[in-house]
Amino acid sequence: MQRDDVRDRGPGELAGPGRGLLRASALSGRQRYRLLTSLIVPRPIGWISTWGADGVRNLAPFSYFNALSAAPMLVGASVGLRRGAVKDTLANVRASGQFAVNLVTERHLEAMVHTAGDWPAGSDEFEEAGLEAADCEAVEAPYVADAIAVLECRLFREIELGAAPNTLIIGEVEAVRLGRELAVDPETLHVDPGSLRPVGRLGLDAYTTLGTVRHVPRPRVG
């Protein structure tokens, strides 16, 4: 049974007050993207760096990114097409099976956005953004030399998602590089968020930085 105050609405009906139920099947691809990426916020950003087969470095940010598992230690990023073509990131990961994820903090916000530009295939985004690169130790991939934390990964699996299509790249973390400025518990390896200062992606061209941190313990049951 459908309540009187909640009914199916078209996108054009949402300007007024009240709630509505939007059917995904009735939305365009752009509407789905805008809705999803402005509702599920903030999202962490995986700033992925790779070597191309031609020896050119590649660096690009992805906000369809998150941790997936601790054992094995897995992270995932969903990569779409660019004007119907495979992006350099996906092509490079498929060819080499290796990549690095640079975690984005406040000091790299503008540089990260710069690397998201519509650069021609084969561009070196490190060079375009004026970033220094260094070589990973556990995998064959470059990384942002002054990134506060870097995950050195090998391709674990890739999964095609839908008809768009997007490809979910799942990487197994071989090594974690931590900056000296991070406050890390020496026993548990918990990283203090205040020392990390992460950047999160909101909708459109909006980003957020770390605000109020609240510690809320879970209840003890049983």
DSSP state of 214: -
pLDDT band at 1 (very low <50, low <70, confident <90, very high): very low
Per DSSP, the residues of 43-103 read EE-EEEEEE-TTS-EEEEEESSEEEEEETTEEEEEEE-EETTEE-HHHHHHHHHSEEEEEE
Select from 114, 104, 176 the least CA-distant residue to 139.
176
Taking 70 as the threshold, does the pLDDT of residue 6 lie above it? no
% of the chain exceeding 70 in pLDDT: 91
What pLDDT does 83 receive?
Answer: 79
Instruction: Report the predicted TM-score, pTM, of the whole model to 2 decimal places.
Output: 0.90
Condensed to tens digits (0 to 9), the pLDDT of residues 15-55 reads 555 568 999 999 998 999 999 999 999 999 999 999 999 99
CA distance 116 to 123: 12
What pLDDT does 135 receive?
Answer: 99
Condensed to tens digits (0 to 9), the pLDDT of residues 179-209 reads 999 999 999 999 999 999 999 999 999 999 9
Neighbouring-strand partners of residue 198: 105
Which helix H or strand E contains 129, and what residues bound it? Answer: helix 125-129
Q: Give 106's contacts (C-beta < 8 A, 6+ positions apart).
A: 197, 199, 209
Where in the chain are the domains? 43-202
More confident residue, 98 or 2: 98
Type of residue numbered 1: M
Dihedral sign computed on CA atoms, order 161, 164, 170, 176: negative
Type of residue numbered 9: R
Strands 57-62 and 65-70: unpaired
Select from 43, 85, 88 the least CA-distant residue to 204.
43
pLDDT (average), residues 59-82 = 96
Type of residue numbered 22: L
How far, in Å, are 19, 47, 118, 162, 178 from residue 112 at the CA level?
Answer: 36, 7, 13, 28, 19
43-202 has CATH 2.30.110.10 classification: yes
